[in-house]
Amino acid sequence: MNGVDLGRALRELREASGKEAKAVARSALMSPSKLSKIMNGKAAPSVTDVERILAALEVPPEVSAQLVEAARVVATEATAWRLYRRTGLHRHQEEIRAVESQAESVRVFQASCVPGLLQSPEYVRAILRNSELSDESLEKMLGARLRRQEALYETRRSFRFLITESVLRWRLVRPVMMAVQLDRLVTVSRLPNVAIGVVPLGVRMPEPPTCSFVLFDARMAVVEIPHAEVTTREPRDVEQYVRKFEAFEQVAQVGDAMRDLVEGIRDEFLRERETG
């Protein structure tokens, strides 16, 4: 089934449901114009788009499975960051939040910065300072990211984070603010459904930490590269990232050992004098 057929099928399901297009778009967390383009074959929907539309339409599982499989024909998608900036990074955060809400298990590997779900407000502002966002857009993005973090307190879901030690040492904010950020890691690591591991610089790496990625259950991987975000639901590709996560998890410091490591780095930042 190609994109046009899929759009037509979704449109017919919407008409059969008797639901207004605006209501479906709202439930699917997308704009009415995007929904219209998908249903009229003018835009190819992602797998996530299809799943959200089907959920909004309350389509029976057997029908949903066929349409989701059709969307998987183009299972790997890449979206440039510049496009997210154009449409609003805060909207993309809401899209991620919707995906996270459907996952029982979220696994994050980060070799470049503190994961978004663990970032302090000051850290968020620091990593976005060169993103050409207006002050208003930056505050919207900050608010959306902080709303995402509420998921950490939903104990029905589990979160596992792996961070390289280098991430904890890179000075993206002033030393005192880095100390605050590291304190947040220690605090969140004590939540019953959250596990944070740190891969120390002194261990032998199982492989180069070439990219950062997120696993939603074992069904989808989202990979960050410098110019774009790549999403795949192809089982063989997802399994590759599952193996990568498990390999780094084997050499990571966890529990009290992790907290001792993080607190030691935090104390180094606190001992530094502010130079202005």
Cβ contacts of 268 within 8 Å, gap of 6 or more: none
Instruction: Answer yes or no: are the C-beta atoms of 182 and 130 closer than 8 Å.
Output: no
Going by pLDDT thresholds of 50, 70 and 90, the confidence category of residue 2 is: very low
- Distance, in Å, from the CA atom of 198 to the CA atom of 248, rounded to the nearest integer, reads 9
What's the mean per-residue pLDDT of the chain?
A: 88
pLDDT score, position 116:
94
d(CA 119, CA 123): 6
Band (276; pLDDT cuts 50, 70, 90):
very low
- Dihedral (CA of 26, 32, 37, 41) sign: positive
Burial grade of 153 (CB within 10 A; 0-12, 13-18, 19 or more):
exposed
Q: Binning pLDDT at 50, 70 and 90, where does residue 240 land?
A: very high
Domains of the chain with bracketed CATH: 3-74 (1.10.260.40), 77-271 (3.30.870.10)
Per-residue pLDDT tens for 148-192? 999 999 999 999 999 999 999 999 999 999 999 999 999 999 999
User: In 3D, which of 116, 221, 236, 212 has the Cα closest to residue 164?
Assistant: 212
pLDDT digits (tens, 9 = 90+) for 56-71: 999 998 888 888 877 7
For residue 204, the SS3 value is coil
